[in-house]
Structure 1
Amino acid sequence: MPTIGFLYPGYGAEDDYPYLQSIVPGDVRLALVHTSVGVDAHEVDALLDLGRSERLLEGAEALRADEPDAIMWACTSGSFVFGLEGARRQAAEVGDALAIPASSTSLAFVDAIQHLGAERVAIAATYPEDVSRHFRKLLQDAGITVVSLVSHDIETAALAGELDDDGVVALAESNNPEEAQIVLLPDTAMHTARIVNRLEEALGKPVLTANQVTLWQGLRLAGIAPVIPQLGALFAKNTTAVTQ
């Protein structure tokens, strides 16, 4: 049975993953472990600590018994604060520990945008402005144009996880300029998995959310390319499998 491992920091929207498990076709298994958290804060120093090697490698070791075929660091802010090359090194270190392909949510956003053939995106972020700018820079360093960034100054992952569906839609609608081909919602602590199609209908374009792209990348790394109608434009066509 193909298995995708997820390293999820603390608690917020981890219940997106049982739902994702229920809609993934075939016999794919999603295995999730919670990595440790020092301080739950959308602050750069706290996020650098959240994504440090010791926390991720401890989580990877906890997944070893599940024998995953690929592993994802299911955290956007705890990867993008390291920059594009830092995020790549972070993922490589985790993958090397288990000798399997690895990536992170930030890197998944880059690959998902490119997969959809987009060049211009808008970001509707839960984070404070100084944190959000790190995500914008990672995307720009990957050759993606960020036409607009709106930050909502939600101070912790726990608070982001308390947003209801209407709140998530309103957050997405806060930054939907016409020139943006895709709108990004980059927080794995925010519940989005069940409402991707609602978001795309409300905005009239593809919407990429953190837990959606994390699943997509994990499947992709394992060579699995399902069509999942509940998960919007990203899963509407077969994904080219990659190797690493």
Structure 2
Amino acid sequence: IRWNLGFFTSRMLLSGGGLEGIEAMEGNAARAMEELASVPVDVIAYCCTVSGALRGVEGDRAFCQDMAQRWGMPVTSTMLAAAEAMQHLGMRQVVVTSPYPDSHHEAERVYLKQTGIEAISMQGMGFEQGWQFARVKPEAILEFSLDAWDDSADGLFISCMNFDAMPVVQRLENRIGKPVVTSHSATLWRALALADIREPIHGYGRLLAQPREV
């Protein structure tokens, strides 16, 4: 597939690894989005999973709507995209894996429940700092997720935008026989749909392998 497609990023400062630091990071959102809007781009994705979870479903939707109105373009968040992706694939009971400490999981559990999705198991690697999340190799994520897997679940959600799970999604799906959604795949899936790019992308699990609808 050859698309006339570009990706632009603007980083937001995360001071510390606790929930307070993640909440404080949102103070950089307007500046980061203004930089992206100046390109201009067609879609903006707020790429932090736990941030959206801490806002709650209604707060997350309101945040995206407010930012979309402010900058005149569609805005999605990772958590909103992930919930929509799991609903799209019929994932009602899920196993969640992440690099996080347990303290980061409760907000995600509540958010998912608000969207009709039950996290029957949530297993984190216990890392506290974002740079630690990024250093976990895809093979380690694969093995950790397989160890956490429960055959009674409808699918697997691998949480965190700083966690390199995309390279092993297809292998995980082949092993467990159920859909696998990651923060990366869900955000890409939703952003491409909002940009009206509908062609399937193969090799990264069934979510991206299907034509997308807005």
TM-score range, shorter chain: over 0.9
Give the number of equivalent residue pairs.
214
1:40 paired residue number: 16
- Distance apart, 1:59 and its partner CA: 0.3
Q: Which amino acid aligns with 1:36?
A: L
Using a 3 Å threshold, how does the CA distance of structure 1 residues 150 and 104 change in structure 2: closer, same or farther? same
Give the alignment's Cα RMSD to 1 decimal: 1.5
Unaligned runs of 5+ in 1: 1-23
How do residues 118-197 of structure 1 correspond to structure 2 at under 5 angstroms?
Answer: 118-197=91-170
Q: Which amino acid aligns with 2:196?
A: G
User: Which has the larger displacement, 151-160 or 86-95?
Assistant: 86-95
Q: Distance in 2 between matches of 1:146 and 1:192?
A: 19
1:71–1:102: 8 Å Cα contact kept in structure 2? yes
TM-score (norm 2): 0.93
1:214 paired residue number: 187
Q: Distance in 2 between matches of 1:118 and 1:168?
A: 20
Q: Distance in 2 between matches of 1:179 and 1:25?
A: 39
2:78 paired residue number: 105
Q: Which has the higher contact order (CA 8 A, sep 6+)?
A: 1
Using a 3 Å threshold, how does the CA distance of structure 1 residues 182 and 224 change in structure 2: closer, same or farther? same
Query: Per-residue CA shift, 1:8-58, capped at 9, x if unaligned?
Result: xxxxxxxxxxxxxxxx74212222221222x130x22111112x2x31110
Which secondary structure state, in structure 2, belongs to the residue aligned with residue 35 of structure 1?
Answer: coil
1:188–1:210: 8 Å Cα contact kept in structure 2? yes
Unaligned runs of 5+ in 2: none
Which secondary structure state, in structure 1, belongs to the residue aligned with residue 187 of structure 2?
Answer: helix
Runs of 4+ in 1 over 3 A off after TM superposition: none
Q: Distance in 2 between matches of 1:169 and 1:143?
A: 26
Q: Distance in 1 between matches of 2:95 and 2:2?
A: 31
TM-score (norm 1): 0.83
1:17 paired residue number: none
User: Which has the larger displacement, 100-109 or 25-34?
Assistant: 25-34
Please point out which of 202, 209, 214 is paired with 1:236: 209
Which secondary structure state, in structure 1, belongs to the residue aligned with residue 48 of structure 2?
Answer: coil
